Amino acid sequence: MLTPWVCWNATGDSVSNEIISSPGKCVSGTSNSQDWPQISISAAYIKFTYDEIQNNNTDICFNIVGSNAISNVIDHNTINNCGPLVTGAWNPVNEDPGWHDHGVYDYGVNTVITNNYIYGNSRNGILEYPSGSGAIIEHNIIDDNGNGITLGGNTNVTIENNIISNSGQLDFSVDGSYAGINNLLENNCIGGNLSGDINPNTDSNVEQKNNLLGVNPMYTNAATHNYKLLSSSKCIGDGPDTAQP
């Protein structure tokens, strides 16, 4: 059986209806990884708290989608290893094997994503996708992902007091040109992102205030995903409000 993520081409477009004869590539009728999410939420006021959520490097962990997905809460969870392992040159970020495989893929309204440890995901730790609005992303550690957060065409998204590190970059546009309206990036600790901490195409609709850039968070051991901060870290006060489970 083919792994689901081979059904995206290098630009992130579906190739499931193409017949490709190369070994390990899609054949006609094969499903894409976006069709295989671990958890899909299309209702309102759902809460996931204090859970460990992963899927052994296969596909999306959370897919929050649709106009009925209102005020859902993702709080105090560990969300990791969503999508295939991505290796290779990271300048530019080599994410092709993991297109569309995110920790949290949010199309919803007023989604709350707080106090989570989000790491090891092949594309974005969090993707705020067009048609979504009003998300609150606060006090998360977002580390070792293809990108930390991508914001593409959303409105009224607040990103505050997160630690965003060791990923591709913090990317405010899916298409490189438009990040949405009335979005705020404030008081975040950002560093070690291999294509640059913030995408240079970030537009004026993202207000940036009091962020620390180029900072080493000084985790106890990032390689083993031990995200306790050393006492000398400049990021103390950001990230989750409880210890990592």
Query: Over its length of 245 residues, how does the chain's per-residue pLDDT go in tens digits?
Result: 345 555 655 555 555 544 444 444 555 555 555 667 789 999 999 999 999 998 877 788 999 988 899 999 999 999 999 887 655 434 344 455 566 788 999 989 999 999 999 998 888 899 988 778 999 999 999 998 888 888 877 889 999 999 999 887 666 644 445 667 888 999 999 998 777 778 766 666 788 899 999 999 999 999 899 999 999 999 999 999 998 87
For the sheet containing 73-75, what is the strand order? 47-49, 73-75, 112-114, 136-138, 158-160, 183-186, 206-209
The Cα 189–Cα 141 span in angstroms is: 10
- Please provide the average confidence, as pLDDT, over all residues in the chain: 80
**21-65, pLDDT tens digit by residue?**
444 455 555 555 566 778 999 999 999 999 999 887 778 899 998
Residue 6 backbone dihedrals phi, psi, to 5 degrees: -75, 0
pLDDT at 176: 46
What the block records as the tokens of 161 is: 């007091």
Confidence (pTM): 0.85
What the block records as the tokens of 217 is: 């968070």
According to DSSP, residue 48 is labeled E
Task: Give the strand pairing for 219-221 and 226-229.
Answer: antiparallel
In order of 78, 79, 141, 147, 213, the CA distances from 225 in angstroms are 11, 12, 11, 17, 21
Domain ranges of the chain: 1-36, 38-229
